[in-house]
Structure 1
Amino acid sequence: MFPPNATPPGKWGLIAGNGRFPFLVLEAARSQGIEMSVIALREEAAPELEAIAERLHWVSLGELSRALELLHQEGVTRAVMAGQVKHTKIFSSIRPDWKLAKLIFSLPRKNTDSLIGAVARVLEEEGIQLVDSTTFLKPLLPEPGVLTRRAPDARESADIAYGREIARHVAGLDLGQTVVISDRACVALEAMEGTDETIERAARLAAGKPLVVVKVAKPRQDMRFDVPVVGLRTVETMRRSQATALAIDACRTLLFDRARLIEAADEAGIAMEAFAPDAQPGGPANHPSSDPNDASRAKAG
């Protein structure tokens, strides 16, 4: 658990997109006695957030000025950004207000990192610090090691090594976080569609061949936003798609519903392993730790 005395003072805000992420942040913060004022993105966030948030305001994706006004109104000085905003919506469905339109026009690159990074700078200029999105969820970041009962076999390990090399380059270009490999051939790269859709596309292309999924953080991952996430839906998609192994970056990938996720992977016969960001399969960073607490953390829910 994130220690309460390490949480900086001041009112907290949550900028909420879709999925489980905002719910988990709210629950974890509340367990530490912290209530958050929520700015929920109308096109993305779940209506159920209203039932658990003490204070919640809805804004549309393009309403940057309105979001800032509400954060100031709530007295927020620190904020967490949690939950996906579909990349396809960011540049196709968004109707920007004047402030956001001006910001988009000023960007040298029209990619997600550039846009959200620019929004983070605007927040800081307004006196609102955007903090690491995993601040309240550190137990969901796995240490290096095998997470499931079964470790990747020789075939899967070879595909993981090949996939991690490709994925690091792709992520470094801010194109996507996921690659899908079969027999050391790249079957699919993630673009704007997301991880699960990438796996489904790979399954169609591979026509029944076993697949390995590799998901990585960017080489210079900004932990304030777009942190890699794996949830139950991804494991179920892998099961349907004959994907037999998943490799992720340790300490930089959130495992939502971690205990249930690992149980589901075990039931499906899927091997999951977390690698130190620069490690390769079989490298020292992935050997079992001599510290028994490390081993228990790797398996803990």
Structure 2
Amino acid sequence: MLQQWFGWPRFQTLRSQSTQEPIGLLAGAGRFPIRIAEKAKSLGIPVVCVAVRNMASPELEALSDRFYWTGLGKLGYSIRCFVREQVPRFTMAGKFHKVELMKPLMMLHHLPDWRAIRFWINRNRQDNRDDALLLGLIDEFERDGVRCVSALELCPELLVRTGILTKRAPSESELADIEFGWNLAKEMGRLDVGQSVMIRNRAVLAVEAIEGTDLAIRRAGELCKKAPFVVVKVAKPQQDLRFDMPTIGTTTIESMHAVGGKVLAIEAGMTIILDESETIALADQYGISIVAR
């Protein structure tokens, strides 16, 4: 009735406007969400993007059919956006800065809604690791009929191929560091601590934790004062393809170059490489070797 009186447009979901069912995109920081939105758009799949403010790129708005900003604590609002648009499935992409949850007065800063408060209170408080939190969040969406799927269903071509990707191959000493670091990184993944370790001369310089790969790389560089070292980044043995896939790109290479990293070893078929040609070209420019095994 109010719509008739005031001429307000009746809300139409994308399901009523398109023959293809929309996909939801819960977007964090970085270029991965942008690549997902671009790929969906090229396939004619409508995109409903719920982007985390102060993390996700504003560029996503132009790539989305419907776009909503949300806060880190607005779980209920995020779910309602997808439900309102009759989104049957969504994917998570990009970095969600977990360190925000560790800051003093986190609740006051992010002002979580009731759904987020209930989730935070009822979660398993004995385990705040990434997998436990993200699987719990997925369950919240699925309770309202919104199923989480892997972004790789849209972009399988982003997975890295086996081989030496750069002009420079690792030296014998660097290969030994890769071998030394590989099982260590896998064990850190099994424990759900992080995905990366930094190695020099068969010694561990740094282990990635809550700070993320780029900051862990920079910490390693500070410890060995730009002496060359190896970065090993792998998938968890129990890797869920729907979230937290190992991802590299130009920012990874820039971080390594800034502090002396010379080799990046990644897991073929389980690592996403963004802007592949630009990333490899930048590594070649800096004399950094990228090897996928």
For 1:17, which of 17, 23, 28 is the aligned residue? 28
The 1:90/1:112 distance shift into structure 2, 3 A limit, reads: farther
Instruction: Name structure 2 gaps, 5 residues minimum.
Output: 1-19
Give the equivalent residue in structure 2 for 1:232. 250
For 1:59, which of 65, 70, 79 is the aligned residue? 70
Looking at structure 1, the residues matched to 52 and 275 of structure 2 have their Cα atoms a distance apart, in angstroms, of 23
Does structure 1 retain, via aligned residues, the 8 Å contact 2:37–2:60?
Answer: no
Whether 2:137 is the aligned partner of 1:119: answer: yes
Give the equivalent residue in structure 1 for 2:272. 254
Does structure 1 retain, via aligned residues, the 8 Å contact 2:34–2:59?
Answer: no
Whether 2:120 is the aligned partner of 1:104: answer: yes
Give the equivalent residue in structure 1 for 2:263. 245
The 1:164/1:95 distance shift into structure 2, 3 A limit, reads: farther
Give the equivalent residue in structure 1 for 2:42. 31
Looking at structure 2, the residues matched to 185 and 200 of structure 1 have their Cα atoms a distance apart, in angstroms, of 17
Aligned residues: 267
Looking at structure 2, the residues matched to 44 and 240 of structure 1 have their Cα atoms a distance apart, in angstroms, of 23
Aligned-residue offset at 1:62: 0.9
Give the equivalent residue in structure 1 for 2:88. 77
Looking at structure 2, the residues matched to 37 and 252 of structure 1 have their Cα atoms a distance apart, in angstroms, of 26
Aligned-residue offset at 1:173: 1.3
Give the equivalent residue in structure 2 for 1:293. none
Aligned-residue offset at 1:98: 2.1
Whether 2:276 is the aligned partner of 1:272: answer: no
Aligned residue type for 2:64: A
For 2:100, which of 67, 78, 89 is the aligned residue? 89
| % identical equivalent positions | 39
Give the equivalent residue in structure 2 for 1:173. 191
Aligned-residue offset at 1:70: 1.1
Looking at structure 1, the residues matched to 25 and 284 of structure 2 have their Cα atoms a distance apart, in angstroms, of 34
Looking at structure 2, the residues matched to 238 and 216 of structure 1 have their Cα atoms a distance apart, in angstroms, of 16
Looking at structure 1, the residues matched to 131 and 35 of structure 2 have their Cα atoms a distance apart, in angstroms, of 23
SS class of match (1:76): coil
Aligned residue type for 2:154: F
Does structure 1 retain, via aligned residues, the 8 Å contact 2:21–2:45?
Answer: no
SS class of match (1:81): strand
Instruction: Name structure 1 gaps, 5 residues minimum.
Output: 1-8, 276-301
The 1:241/1:56 distance shift into structure 2, 3 A limit, reads: same
Looking at structure 2, the residues matched to 208 and 58 of structure 1 have their Cα atoms a distance apart, in angstroms, of 40
Aligned-residue offset at 1:254: 0.7
Does structure 2 retain, via aligned residues, the 8 Å contact 1:104–1:110?
Answer: no
Looking at structure 1, the residues matched to 168 and 225 of structure 2 have their Cα atoms a distance apart, in angstroms, of 25
Does structure 2 retain, via aligned residues, the 8 Å contact 1:180–1:213?
Answer: yes
Query: TM-score by structure 2 length?
Result: 0.87
Aligned 1:95-244 pairs, distance under 5 A: 95-108=111-124, 109-244=127-262
CA radius of gyration, larger in? 2
Looking at structure 2, the residues matched to 214 and 113 of structure 1 have their Cα atoms a distance apart, in angstroms, of 21
* Per-residue CA distance 1:21-60 (angstroms, 9 max, x = gap): 1110010111111121111111311222222222101111
SS class of match (1:186): strand
Looking at structure 1, the residues matched to 183 and 111 of structure 2 have their Cα atoms a distance apart, in angstroms, of 37
Aligned-residue offset at 1:91: 4.1
SS class of match (1:225): coil
Q: Specify which structure has the bigger relative contact order, considering alpha-carbon pairs within 8 angstroms and separated by 6 or more residues.
A: 1
Looking at structure 1, the residues matched to 290 and 59 of structure 2 have their Cα atoms a distance apart, in angstroms, of 31
SS class of match (2:50): strand
SS class of match (1:47): coil
Query: TM-score by structure 1 length?
Result: 0.85
SS class of match (1:39): strand
For 1:68, which of 64, 79, 85 is the aligned residue? 79
Aligned residue type for 1:98: W
